[in-house]
Amino acid sequence: MEITYYPNPLLRKIAKPVAKITPQVLQTLDNMLALMYVANDKGGVGLAGPQVGLSERLLVIDPSHEDEERTPYFLINPEIVELSGEDCEYEEGCLSLPGIYAPVVRPEKCILKYLDREGKEQIIKADGFLARVIQHEMDHLNGKLFIDYLSPLRKKIIAKKLKMLEERYG
C-alpha cells in the first residue's frame, strides 16, 4: 500500500460505498492506519481510501498528538450529517500533496455518522482539530482537495509546487 499523489485522477473521483464489511476491508483499514503512522512525520493524521489507490469510502483518523495515547478511528461509509459553528481558518496540508500548505476556512464543528469495524452505526460530534480532520478526509471521499478552497491568489502562490507534483507523479 502506497500514498496516491496529486495529480492522480483517483483523487478527483467520488469514492464508492463499501457494500460489505469483510476481513479484507478490516485488513485494508489496518494497513491504512499503519501507513498513516509511518507518514506521520509528514503530518499525517488521517488517510482516505482514494489516497491509497482505493475508490472506497474508508477513512482512518488519529488526531492525537505525539505525547498522547493513540486514538485511532476506523470509519466505514462515513457521512457528515451536520456542519456548524464559526468558520475557522487553519493551515492544512495533505499526504497526497507533499510540501504544500495553505490556510483553509472550515466550520469549527461537525457531526459524522459512520459504520465501525463491526458494522454498527456510530456518531461522532466533533469540534476543533478533530472536526477539521474529519472534513478534510471526507473531502477526499468526495473528490475534493484542500487546495480547492483556496482563493485565486493562494492558488497562484502554490502553482509552481503543484506543477512540480504534476511533473513528478503525473
What CATH number does residue 137 fall under? 3.90.45.10
For the chain, the domain total comes to 1
Q: Is 137 known to be catalytic?
A: yes
Active-site position among 56, 69, 121, 137: 137
87 burial type by CB count under 10 A (0-12 exposed, 13-18 middle, 19+ buried)? exposed
User: What pLDDT score does 43 carry?
Assistant: 60
- Whether 100 is in a domain gets the answer no
User: What pLDDT score does 170 carry?
Assistant: 84
User: What pLDDT score does 67 carry?
Assistant: 75
User: What pLDDT score does 38 carry?
Assistant: 87
- Whether 75 is in a domain gets the answer yes
C-alpha span between 170 and 166 (Å, rounded): 5
User: What pLDDT score does 117 carry?
Assistant: 97
Range of the domain at 49: 9-86+106-144
- Whether 20 is in a domain gets the answer yes
Specify the residue for cell string 452505526: 121
- Whether 92 is in a domain gets the answer no
User: What pLDDT score does 161 carry?
Assistant: 96
C-alpha span between 134 and 79 (Å, rounded): 10
User: What pLDDT score does 42 carry?
Assistant: 57
For the chain, which residues score pLDDT lower than 50? none
- Whether 24 is in a domain gets the answer yes
